[in-house]
Amino acid sequence: MLSCAKMIGIRSPFIYFIDPVRAEIVMEFIEGKNAKEMMTHDLAYRIGRYAGLLHSNNIIHGDLTTSNFIVGKKLVLLDFGLAFHSVRNEDKAVDVKLIKTILKSAYSSAYERTFNGFLKGYSKMVSAKEVGRILKNVYDIERRGRYARIV
């Protein structure tokens, strides 16, 4: 999935070596700060563009959080361990719902500004019609979770 992301213009670490027997991966060290430590409207916009670029190419990250972005000379997206291909708006909505939840909980005082920044960036890469459908799915997911019963 890292290769797929790279092919569409997402900056991600280079893989130098994989040893499946020892379950080891050696990859590029990314210099910079973690996005979770420096969230701004502009950074949320850039993250939104990355998410939109992934989704417009039917790539679901699976763990789209501020912890998986490094800000250095360029924005770098990490951890594609849960990534997969999908054309389903529901899958795209789960990615958007996760980043929305992170922004709301970790940056509550700046939530509206950062989430709006994310959506502006996302909307630059995904058609308005598609964004509307995905956001409707986000709303549906939120409603389902709100009334879930734990037995």
* pLDDT of amino acid 108: 87
CB atoms within 10 A of CB 62: 18
Q: What is the mean predicted confidence (pLDDT) over 14-22?
A: 93
Q: What tokens appear for 76 in the block?
A: 């770098």
CATH of the domain at 77: 1.10.510.10
CB atoms within 10 A of CB 118: 26
Residue 55 lies in a domain: yes
Number of domains the chain is built from: 1
Contact (Cβ atoms closer than 8 angstroms) between residue 51 and residue 98 = no
- Encoded amino acid at 113, one letter: R
Q: Point out the residues that are catalytic.
A: 63
HSE at residue 52, side-chain half, CA atoms within 13 A, is: 22
Residue 31 DSSP class:
P
Domain enclosing residue 78, as ranges:
32-146
Residue 133 lies in a domain: yes
Q: Kindly report, residue by residue over 91-148, the tens digit of the pLDDT.
A: 999 999 999 999 999 998 999 999 999 999 999 999 999 999 999 999 998 888 665 5
Is the pLDDT assigned to residue 149 strictly greater than 60?
A: no
* pLDDT of amino acid 127: 93
pTM: 0.89
User: What percent of the chain has a predicted confidence (pLDDT) above 70?
Assistant: 95
Q: What tokens appear for 70 in the block?
A: 């490094």
HSE at residue 75, side-chain half, CA atoms within 13 A, is: 21
CB atoms within 10 A of CB 120: 15
Residue 21 lies in a domain: no
Query: Kindly report the CA angle at 58 between 93 and 48, in degrees rounded to 5?
Result: 55
Average pLDDT value for the chain: 93
Q: What is the mean predicted confidence (pLDDT) over 31-36?
A: 94
Residue 2 lies in a domain: no
Residue 17 lies in a domain: no
Residue 20 lies in a domain: no
* pLDDT of amino acid 150: 56
Q: What tokens appear for 58 in the block?
A: 């039917």
* pLDDT of amino acid 143: 87
Residue 22 lies in a domain: no
Residue 89 lies in a domain: yes
How would DSSP label each residue in 12-41?
Answer: -PPEEEEETTTTEEEEPPPPSEEGGGS--H
**Distance in angstroms (rounded) separating the CA atoms of residues 48 and 42:** 10
* pLDDT of amino acid 14: 92
